[in-house]
């Protein structure tokens, strides 16, 4: 699956910013080790993955070398969202040797992190492949890489929850208490941003009933037992979509995949990733 970068608001601007900041923290006022290499030397390099993964990060690699040296040529062997086997070539670089080695770690850091996110998402998506449930991410992302990880989640076959605090309402326990109750909170949300999705997190059947009566679009069941979930689904049928959240790992997801819920959200998609092992080597004729 290869989603478009256009699926995530502001992603292209965020890629440029993230790469600029990553290069600044790594290169500083110059790569002193790269100065060991004659400035005119040209080289070719190959990047491989040492393990199976779902690849993600093409635009970030291209932006790293675009900012360092627009003359660098990147030749791709894979696409975002592609399942790749261990020891496969991801891409090759040809151009200035200093530039290749200066940009290596920055480029690979993005790829190992985003491919790790996409691979985790793919494992979750596989557990729900025989159902209509959408697996959603959360806002538990690496600071500065929110939109990048949201994109990686799509590459892995899962779906995005809200991008941030600005594009949808998610009314939780503290919001309810401070706003004067569920009905009051939903009413105010409709006035603040008409047309925006309004979701309410509930911790009991009583709160669920209040959210339904107040017209919530989505109701998140937080730490509901299976019995409570079954009752909630009967009450909400046709009135609101139901999302399950809280302590959702792969084992729990497999248990829940048979329920007629609309969404299951899990912070694990973005915060429990394991970076993919990659390697860059200069080719012999370089």
Active centre residues (catalytic): 105, 140, 172, 201, 222
Please give the Cα distance from 19 to 67 (Å, whole number): 8
Please give the Cα distance from 281 to 266 (Å, whole number): 37
Output b/e per residue, 110-138; b: 16+ Cβ within 10 A.
Answer: bbbbbbbbbbbbbbbbebbeeeebbbbbb
Q: CB–CB of 242/219 below 8 Å?
A: yes
Cβ partners under 8 Å of residue 97, min gap 6: 37, 38, 41, 42, 43, 282, 286
Q: CB–CB of 214/183 below 8 Å?
A: yes
Number of H helices, E strands in the chain: 10, 12
Crossing angle, helix 11-27 and helix 58-68, to 10 degrees? 50
Output b/e per residue, 72-101; b: 16+ Cβ within 10 A.
Answer: bebeeebebbbebeeebebbbbbbbbbbbb
What's the chain's Rg over C-alpha atoms? Answer: 23
Q: Where are the alpha helices (DSSP H) in the chain?
A: 11-27, 58-68, 97-127, 146-155, 173-179, 182-192, 205-214, 226-236, 250-256, 268-271
């Amino acid at each position: 699956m290869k989603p478009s970068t256009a699926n995530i608001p502001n992603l292209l601007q965020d890629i440029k910013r993230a790469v600029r900041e990553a290069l600044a923290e790594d290169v500083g006022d110059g790569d002193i080790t790269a100065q060991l290499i004659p400035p005119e030397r040209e080289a070719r390099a190959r990047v491989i993955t040492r393990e199976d993964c779902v690849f993600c990060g093409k635009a970030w690699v291209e932006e790293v070398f675009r900012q360092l040296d627009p003359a660098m040529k990147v030749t791709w062997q894979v696409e975002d969202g592609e399942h790749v086997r261990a020891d496969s070539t991801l891409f090759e670089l040809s151009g200035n040797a200093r530039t290749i080695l200066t940009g290596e770690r920055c480029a690979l850091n993005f790829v190992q992190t985003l491919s790790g996110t996409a691979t985790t998402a793919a494992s979750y998506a596989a557990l729900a492949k025989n159902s209509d449930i959408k697996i959603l991410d959360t806002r538990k992302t690496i600071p500065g890489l929110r939109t990048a990880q949201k994109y990686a989640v799509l590459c892995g076959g899962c779906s995005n929850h809200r991008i941030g605090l600005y594009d949808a309402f998610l009314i939780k326990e503290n919001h309810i208490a401070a706003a004067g109750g569920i009905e009051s909170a939903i009413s105010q949300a409709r006035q603040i941003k008409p047309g925006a999705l309004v979701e309410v997190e509930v911790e009991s059947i009583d709160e669920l009933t209040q959210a339904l009566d107040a017209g919530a679009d989505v109701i998140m069941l937080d730490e509901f037992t299976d019995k409570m979930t079954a009752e909630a689904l009967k009450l909400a049928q046709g009135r609101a979509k139901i999302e399950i959240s809280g302590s959702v790992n792969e084992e729990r997801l497999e248990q829940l995949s048979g329920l007629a819920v609309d969404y299951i959200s899990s912070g694990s998609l973005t915060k429990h990733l394991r970076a993919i092992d990659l390697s860059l080597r200069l080719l012999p004729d370089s």
